[in-house]
Structure 1
Amino acid sequence: MSDIQDQVDEFDLVAKGGVYFLEETLPMIKVLIFLDDLDIWLHFNEIFGEERDFFGHGFRIIVTTSNKSVLLKSPPQRLDCIYCISMMNDNLALALQGNLPISDFDEIARGIIDSVNGIPLFIKVIGILFPEKWWKNGLHLGS
């Protein structure tokens, strides 16, 4: 979005509103949008308006929320599916792919699990993307 937004005069965005910007820009491109921890459906409408017709072919919006009732309040035509994620218990998350963490990494691994609330996909992605030193610094666990 920031790459697209750089192409638009900032005054136009403020004067015409964010929805106008989306209506004019998004039909031209494929879009994947994540809204994390949505707590009021009205926030979705404030961002995207009442209609989703202005999105181009192949767009996707993924919404996460800890409150399923937020999604149930949405109009049926605005919601394709609800997927509930089961949280992993700490021991199962630590043994992801059958490998137990080395004892030196136990505290780091538990910190990662806590920081992503045990969501399996997040655990896997974070484990792949970030080296040990980054997590030690990020979780203030020392060096």
Structure 2
Amino acid sequence: MINMLKEQDSQKVLFIGDDRFILNNLICELLKEENISVIFAPTWDYGKKCMKNSKLKLVIIDSNLISKLSPSAVMPFIKKSKALFFIIDVLPDTWIYKRADRLKSSSIVIYKRPLNIDKLIRSAKKVWKRK
């Protein structure tokens, strides 16, 4: 498991997924910003532990990881958290895609496939410009 932390008091991003391309691009770009730490969780169970134990500003979830789970296994953790959630790379045949309109809120952003990695990085950087 990779756990990249720059400082104890930094704002944290949690990436839940196993897509190395997305993870590498996010880490390279987000770590350029000041006071941002990136935590990598390759499984949903480890991601849940990180959500409970860390003050997070942004959680990026690869939909391939959670689309196999039931909504009742995922949504309680998302609803409890104060972080902004990006659910990325959502495919048309998943429950996330089918519920995208209902899931969209001020705290959940859905990125359907094909994923534009540059747009995702720009959106993630905007999170830090907010107070």
TM-score w.r.t. length of structure 2:
0.33
Task: Mark the structure with the bigger radius of gyration.
Answer: 1
Identify, as 1 or 2, the structure richer in helix. Answer: 1
Instruction: Identify which of structures 1 and 2 has the higher relative contact order when contacts are C-alpha pairs closer than 8 Å and 6+ apart.
Output: 2
